[in-house]
Amino acid sequence: MPTFTAQSIREIVNGFQPSRVLLTAYELGVFTALGDAWRPSAEVATDLGTDARATDRLMNALVAMGLLEKRDGRFANGASAAKLLVRGGSDYMSGLMHSAHMWTRWSTLTEAVRRGTPVAPAQPRGEEWGEAFMAAMHWRGVQQAPEVAKAIGLDGVSRVLDVAGGTGVFSMAFARARAGLRAVVFDLPAIVPITRRYVADAGLSDRVTATPGDLTTDDFPGDFDLVFLSAIAHSFGPEENRRLVAKAARALAPGGRVVVQEFVIDEDRRGPLQPALFALNMLVGTRAGDTYAESEIRGWLTAAGLASVTRTDTRFGTSLIGGRKSIAD
């Protein structure tokens, strides 16, 4: 158990301030407006259509945080900001807008704990929200997917169903990891065009396809060697997840596997920190979503008739928990 001082408590309490400064600068496009130039804040404000004094104060705070540099009244991106926060760069963190969208919901946490349900108005899930969410999931997935493909083990796998697979980032990693493997991304009709665009940009349209459907109401296509359920269970309650895993199991060929990827919390729910915080993210944003313990996920898999359940932890804080269908089935 760590020891906290008044100062360390205050640092936690004030931790939202630099987060908000960075997100506001990102939303406004400060880093992209600077690009690779040295510019006065008033000039940046003119380009962005923002107040000159307020923009100057925001940019000074970014200097103090180490993201911008300042010299003779002019500002420039620091090396890290130039690499990660300027739109169009190869390492651009395109998913941060999703974090900005989360801000409103997290500000209602106190009332959500009082009521036990989300209280913020529903986030309009139009094209802007969808693109931001997909970009966030894709950026994280690019880091994770090659390791996940290796950890799952794709020997003998030729057909994969990637449920709510978004941009297809995991399906593409699976295809790259095993010659001849083909994957189907099953996602909402509004998401499928985004999926197809990402897959086409990667040159994998011949091996990764996308089909529209709603995982809560539609049956899955069948005869797959692997059904992958990544970052889905946390959006639903236990009974919904039991039905989802059962439906995934029915989509398997004999000997196939269902693999669930999630932030997995300890059995006594004391940690780790990321799953504990993510449970609150689900509280403020979903009706019944949560983070789950290994025993709960194992229970869904075994109830679906799957055996040989295993768990593999990744260095990204997620765990892969999977079970296999009998060859005789």
Q: Give how far Cα 83 sits from Cα of 35, 43, 87, 244, Å.
A: 10, 22, 9, 40
Average pLDDT score over residue span 192-207: 96
Are 139 and 93 spatial neighbours (Cβ–Cβ below 8 Å)? Answer: yes
- 145-324: CATH topology is Rossmann fold (3.40.50)
Confidence of residue 123 (pLDDT cuts 50, 70, 90): low
| 6-90 CATH | 1.10.10.10
Phi, psi at 264, each rounded to 5°: -110, 125
**Domain locations along the chain:** 6-90, 94-135, 145-324
Residue 168 has what DSSP assignment? T
What pLDDT score does 128 carry?
A: 65
Quick one: pLDDT band at residue 97, thresholds 50, 70, 90? Answer: confident
Q: pTM for the complete prediction? A: 0.88
Secondary structure (DSSP) of 133-152: HHHHHHHHHHHHHHHHHHHH
**Max CA pair span of the chain:** 75
Annotated catalytic residues are 234
Q: Which of 101-105, 197-201, 212-216, 272-276 has the lowest mean pLDDT?
A: 101-105
Given a cut of 80, is residue 120 above it in pLDDT? no
